[in-house]
Amino acid sequence: MKIHRSLLPMAFAAAFLCAAFFARPAQAGLIGTDQVVAPAQSERDRVKALVARPEVAKKLESLGVPPANAQARVDALTDEEVHALAAQLDALPAGGMSDQNWLLVVIAVILAAILIAL
């Protein structure tokens, strides 16, 4: 019983010393406007680069949006809209099919297999 009484204060002392020596002070600082604006501007540049690609410009033109007008529309987007659009660009498959397209292919294959089996 005496061992337990002497170990408890020693454990607390050891925990306190470990916390005192290994704890790192928090660091905080002011964030400049350029640090806040820079990510939004880089996302806007990514969207502008996408709109400037020849295949995208051709598709937009076939839909009735001239390339210069598309660039002006990207400039008119708010930072939140640009961020949402850039996030959607990151989520798109690179040159592949989306999950919905794969599901349609699987359903078509299953239907074809059922029709062939009949």
Residues 48-86: pLDDT tens digits?
Answer: 888 888 888 888 888 888 888 888 888 888 888 888 888
Q: Which domain holds residue 68?
A: 50-75
Q: With respect to residue 56, please indicate whether it lies within any of the assigned structural domains.
A: yes
pLDDT at 76: 84
pLDDT at 4: 61
Q: Is the distance from CB of 43 to CB of 88 less than 8 angstroms?
A: no
pLDDT at 74: 82
Q: Is the pLDDT of residue 90 over 60?
A: yes
- Determine how many CB atoms are found less than 10 A away from the CB of residue 61: 13
d(CA 24, CA 81): 39
Q: Is the distance from CB of 43 to CB of 82 less than 8 angstroms?
A: yes
Q: With respect to residue 17, please indicate whether it lies within any of the assigned structural domains.
A: no
CA distances (Å), 45 to each of 21, 40, 111, in order? Answer: 46, 9, 45
The structural domain count of the chain equals: 1
d(CA 13, CA 20): 10
Q: With respect to residue 110, please indicate whether it lies within any of the assigned structural domains.
A: no
